[in-house]
């Protein structure tokens, strides 16, 4: 019986992470390898919110800014002190949000069974004005973008671990430590039948130079994403002349 329970636990842990590009899909979470040195993505945890032939879009879950929502949406009547998140290095004036709700709002896109992507200005304003609690709503500036082929290549060289996403991970109360905890989970040792077993990324240090050589191409590719994914995005933000973050015209 003990052997069966250990085997079941091991299988569940194995299914929690992958290094196979075939497992990429919307709702999956990318965890940066320790060897991923690109400052745009080092030590990041990224939720894939859209995955298709036209492109891949993700939001970084663990980069809080110091700017509260009220500072970004200055015309809001309600004071919101919960922080805005840095969603990624592409189109930093684009606003997206993730909402935790069993009911999918109209004009939103379902990412997980109880998590929806908001990309429409009117819907986000309505959701904020309704007083949605911070543990159920997170707002992001910018996003991460790839072509499907590009992301598959990055996974293939060991830049990312793939986890099954869930609402608890997306709305983790301590996002600053999320990457470290997921990495510890992936590297923990489990004694199975008296033998140590280790889950670890398939990243090989000898191949690191190949990944670094592709860094420039990766950044060039991500700049092309807004054209391909424009229907999903709400844009039109203006930069704040005082450097305090973007300001949005709420018409």
Instruction: Please check whether residue 162 is in contact with residue 155, taking contact to mean a CB–CB distance below 8 angstroms.
Output: yes
In the three-class reduction of DSSP (H, G, I as helix; E, B as strand; rest coil), residue 83 is classed as strand
Residues paired with 139 in a beta bridge: 97
pLDDT, one tens digit per residue, over 47-63 is: 999 999 889 999 999 99
Instruction: Pick left, alpha or beta for residue 108 (phi over 0 → left; psi -120 to 50 → alpha; otherwise beta).
Output: beta
Is residue 103 one of the residues assigned to a domain? Answer: yes
Tens-level pLDDT at each residue, the chain (251 residues): 555 444 444 444 444 578 899 999 999 999 999 999 999 999 999 999 999 988 999 999 999 999 999 887 777 777 788 999 999 999 998 999 999 999 999 999 999 999 999 999 899 989 998 989 999 999 999 999 999 999 999 999 999 999 999 999 999 999 999 999 999 888 773 333 344 444 444 333 333 333 443 443 444 344 334 444 444 455 534 333 333 333 333 23
Percentage with pLDDT > 70 across the chain: 67
Is residue 247 one of the residues assigned to a domain? Answer: no
Is residue 190 one of the residues assigned to a domain? Answer: yes
Locate 49 and state its tokens.
Answer: 């919110």
Is residue 77 one of the residues assigned to a domain? Answer: yes
Is residue 40 one of the residues assigned to a domain? Answer: yes
Instruction: Residue 103: give the domain boundaries.
Output: 2-232
| Structural domain total, the chain | 1
Give pLDDT, residue 80: 86
pLDDT, one tens digit per residue, over 109-155 is: 999 999 999 999 899 989 998 989 999 999 999 999 999 999 999 99
Q: What CATH number should be reported for the domain holding residue 154?
A: 3.40.1740.10
Is residue 125 one of the residues assigned to a domain? Answer: yes
Is residue 12 one of the residues assigned to a domain? Answer: yes
Residue 136: CB atoms within 10 Å: 15
Instruction: Please check whether residue 197 is in contact with residue 129, taking contact to mean a CB–CB distance below 8 angstroms.
Output: no
Is residue 104 one of the residues assigned to a domain? Answer: yes
Instruction: Pick left, alpha or beta for residue 88 (phi over 0 → left; psi -120 to 50 → alpha; otherwise beta).
Output: left
């Amino acid at each position: 019986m003990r052997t069966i329970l250990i085997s079941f636990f091991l299988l569940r842990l194995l299914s929690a992470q992958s290094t196979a590009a075939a497992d990429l899909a919307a709702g999956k979470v990318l965890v940066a390898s320790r060897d991923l040195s690109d400052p745009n993505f080092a030590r990041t945890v990224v939720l894939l919110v859209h995955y298709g032939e036209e492109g891949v879009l993700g939001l970084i879950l663990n980069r809080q800014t110091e700017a509260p929502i009220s500072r970004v949406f200055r015309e809001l009547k309600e004071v919101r002190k919960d922080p805005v998140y840095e969603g990624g290095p592409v189109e930093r004036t684009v606003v997206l949000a993730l909402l935790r709700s069993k009911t999918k709002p109209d004009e939103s896109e379902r990412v997980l069974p109880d998590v929806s992507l908001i990309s429409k200005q009117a819907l986000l304003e309505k959701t904020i004005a309704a007083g949605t609690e911070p543990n159920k709503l997170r707002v992001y500036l910018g996003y991460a973008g790839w072509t499907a082929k590009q992301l598959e290549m990055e996974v293939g060289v060991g830049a990312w671990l793939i986890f099954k996403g869930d609402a608890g991970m997306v709305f983790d109360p301590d996002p600053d430590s999320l990457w470290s905890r997921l990495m510890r989970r992936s590297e923990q040792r489990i004694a199975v039948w008296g033998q140590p077993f280790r889950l670890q990324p398939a990243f090989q240090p000898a191949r690191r130079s190949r990944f670094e050589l592709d860094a420039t191409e990766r950044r060039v590719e991500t700049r092309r994403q807004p054209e391909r994914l424009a229907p999903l995005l709400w844009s039109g933000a203006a930069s704040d002349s005082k450097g305090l973050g973007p300001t949005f015209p709420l018409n």
